[in-house]
Structure 1
Amino acid sequence: MTILILGLILFLGVHSVRIFAEGWRTAQIAKRGEGAWKGMYTVVSIVGFGLILWGYGMARAQPVVLWAPQLWARHLAALLMLFAFILLAAAYVPKNGIKSWLHHPMVLSVKVWALAHLLANHTLADLLLFGSFLVWAVLNFRAARQRDRAANTVYPTGAVAGTLITVVVGVVVWAVFAFWAHAWLFGVSPVGR
């Protein structure tokens, strides 16, 4: 668990600088340059992510079970993941109404992803991993909305075509993950095949 926790601290820590230390971040970028900041950010993120994968893999080999898995939770998680993939697509598809309305769909996607996986999984490692990401996403969304209000950020109005493309892309990527990629990558089929 130590490696998983260290990975979470590094990965979520570097991704939390804008939540807890926006002024320090701005000062570091001014002092060192944006390229150096992004380089450091990227290296720490990659190291943290690698440690998360390694630590979670080790923890799955010797799981500490916290509660009995529930079939309904697995089905609900699969449905929630459909929404998570649509929100993720909304972060990238231009001129969609979902981003126009929610402003930060990627962070909301992480919230839904983490909640879905907390419902479907039942070990201490799952609680640490997905619980940490859920707390981070809640705090990050709040901080991003505060920054938007302070900067009077106005998001462009979405178009019907962009919104439809967003939904289609999200559904297709969800289907690929649900019916194939999740089992291939993680050894677990979320749809029970």
Structure 2
Amino acid sequence: MTILVCGLALFLAIHLVPSFSGFRQKLVEHLGFNGYRGLFTLASFAGLIAIIYGFQAAWLADYLPLYTPPNWGRHVAMFLMLPVFPFFVSVYMKGNITRIIKHPMINAVKLWAVAHLFANGEPYSVALFGSFLVWAVIVRISLAKRDRANPPSTDYPNAIRNDVISVLVGLGIYGLFVWKLHAILIGVPIVA
């Protein structure tokens, strides 16, 4: 599980850098924008690879669960996952979802993490989903402070059209994950 924890630390730490604008600005001044972006990308990729490899290794090691999820936990997880993909799509199709939810990607990560904590009690699952939940809460607080200081524009042309597209595409992706993609990509079928 050490590789998983190191990957999470690297991936989430590098994704916290933008929350600290002064630190980020110093890095950009020192490395240049392209250097900063290259370092960000490389560190993110290395962290992601370590997370995937570490999670798989921990899964194969078959740790005892920290807690046994309730029988209904899987149903709660499926329900909580319903808006996750529409939220992700709405990041690129800005409309009323973005206006109301504010930061849909961060909120999608929080829902994804909580949903999976209802369905998984193994230490590696708790480390993965719990870490992402903590990260998303920290980033959301940071973004709320930034938004109060500098309110973002909420004038989105074609808002209703974009919302409809976000919901339809997002629910389509959700359906694919429930049907087959989760089993193919993660190795765990949702519907047996």
Compute the TM-score of the two structures, normalised by the length of structure 1.
0.93
Task: Report whether the alignment pairs 1:153 with 2:170.
Answer: no
What SS does the aligned partner of 2:179 have?
helix
2: CA distance, partners of 1:43 / 1:31: 17
Paired position in structure 2 for 1:123? 122
Output the aligned Cα RMSD: 1.3
Task: Report whether the alignment pairs 1:83 with 2:87.
Answer: no
What amino acid maps onto 2:120 in structure 1?
N
2: CA distance, partners of 1:32 / 1:188: 42
2: CA distance, partners of 1:156 / 1:57: 43
Query: What are structure 1's unaligned runs of at least 5 residues?
Result: none
1:96-111 matches, within 5 Å, as: 96-111=95-110
Q: Which moved more, 1:26-35 or 1:163-172?
A: 26-35
Query: What are structure 2's unaligned runs of at least 5 residues?
Result: none
Paired position in structure 2 for 1:178? 178
Aligned-pair CA distance for 1:18:
2.4
What SS does the aligned partner of 1:69 have?
coil
- Runs of 4+ more than 4 Å apart: none
Aligned-pair CA distance for 1:149:
1.4
What amino acid maps onto 1:5 in structure 2?
V
Paired position in structure 2 for 1:141? 140
Deviations 1:112-151, CA, capped at 9 Å, x for gaps: 0000111110101111110000000011111112111112
Aligned-pair CA distance for 1:3:
0.5
Paired position in structure 1 for 2:22? 23
2: CA distance, partners of 1:152 / 1:160: 22
The question of whether the paired residues in 2 share the 8 Å contact of 1:103 and 1:155 is answered with no
What SS does the aligned partner of 1:180 have?
helix
The question of whether the paired residues in 2 share the 8 Å contact of 1:85 and 1:174 is answered with yes
1:8-19 matches, within 5 Å, as: 8-19=8-19
Aligned-pair CA distance for 1:70:
2.6
Paired position in structure 2 for 1:132? 131
Paired position in structure 2 for 1:41? 40
Q: Count the aligned residue pairs.
A: 190
2: CA distance, partners of 1:81 / 1:28: 36
Aligned-pair CA distance for 1:175:
0.4
1: CA distance, partners of 2:161 / 2:153: 20
What SS does the aligned partner of 1:49 have?
helix
The question of whether the paired residues in 2 share the 8 Å contact of 1:85 and 1:170 is answered with yes
1: CA distance, partners of 2:12 / 2:46: 11
Compute the TM-score of the two structures, normalised by the length of structure 2.
0.94
2: CA distance, partners of 1:102 / 1:57: 33
Aligned-pair CA distance for 1:64:
2.6
